[in-house]
Each structure stands twice: as C-alpha cells, then as structure tokens.
Amino acid sequence: MPRRERRAQLLESALEVFVAQGFHAAAMDDIAERAGVSKPVLYQHFPGKLDLYLALLDASCDQIIDNCRVALASTADNKMRVAATMDAFFEYVAGDTGAFRLVFESDLTNEPAVREQVERVTSECADMIAHVIHDDTGLPDEASRLLAVSLVGMAQVSARFWLTDAGGIRKSDAAALVAGLAWRGIRGYPLDH
C-alpha cells in the first residue's frame, strides 16, 4: 500500500480507538490491530502515541475551523451567517466518526501541544467571527472578540449537550434554536457609523 494511503488507514483506525477509549486507555497494539498492521509498521509512520494523537487532533481542528470559515463565507446576511455557523458546529459534533471528542472532550488537555490545538479552534473561529462583528457593528476589536468567543462557546457547548442529552430534538431544530438565541443577542449591536 502506498505510504499516503497507509497513513490515512492508520489515522482512521487510530481515530476509532481514541474516540472509543480516550488517549490514556488506547494502546498502540489496539491501533495496529484495528488497522491490520504490525506495530513496527505503525511506528514507521508515527514515532509514538502522542504523535499519532496530535496528527488526528490537528486534522480534526482544521475541519471545524474550515467548516466555520465556509459557514461565514456562505452569505452576506448576518442572520443566515449565525445559522450557518451554528449548523457547522452541530454537523461537526454529530459526525459519525466522533472526531469532535478529540477536540472538545480530550483527556489530554494537560499536554501543552494538545491544549494549544484545542485552543486554536476557539481562537481561529472567534477571530473570523470577530472580524464580521467588528465590520458590521463598529465595535472595538476587543469587544468584537469577546462577543465572538461567546458565540463560539455557545455553539460548541450547546452542540455537545444536544448530542448527549437532547431529549429527542432533531439536529436541525436544535441548531435553529441556538442560532435564534444567538441572533437575537448579536443583532442588538448597532452599526457605529
């Protein structure tokens, strides 16, 4: 198997193991077995369990950040931007791979490299949202960033709550409820021109 395909196979298998067991309980033996390879083959691609985890985490963080970027760029209508961004978070959390658990529920946040990646999601998504808030309201950068971080927090916490304890609310309805709350709050900031 070509190196790139093998790496993708190993990452997919590792994701399944890490999501099911968490970092600390996962073993390289389990990952190799899931991928149908020997441990030496696994170690040819990833020198250690943390390297493997960080590769997965990086890809997972990139995915939600890209989803946020696409949502914000999908329309110039701010009400629709809020809805699209909430949808992006709910879609990501509802994904069948469970990759969001690496980002939002990692059992390794005491590791600086992991914490840096996890914080990157909030930071980069909030930066994009803050730019829109600043441009559309005229609020100072610091105020725009605080509001943006609040919206990102609302999106990810409510999406995770919905997944575990939604009481039968459909994903689209849950995202729309949270988007409605967010929009009712953020639309109150007038243009400062």
Q: Say whether both 126 and 174 belong to one domain.
A: yes
- For the chain, give the number of residues: 193
Q: Say whether both 129 and 94 belong to one domain.
A: yes
Q: Say whether both 60 and 147 belong to one domain.
A: yes
Q: Say whether both 150 and 129 belong to one domain.
A: yes
- Burial level of 84, CB count in 10 A (0-12/13-18/19+)? buried
Query: pLDDT tens digit string along 43-65?
Result: 999 999 999 999 999 999 999 99
Question: In the predicted model, what is the mean pLDDT of residues 177-185?
Answer: 94
Q: Say whether both 108 and 125 belong to one domain.
A: yes
Q: Is residue 193 part of a domain?
A: no
Q: Is residue 101 part of a domain?
A: yes
pTM summary value: 0.86
For residue 32, give the CATH number of its domain.
1.10.10.60
Host domain of residue 117: 53-188
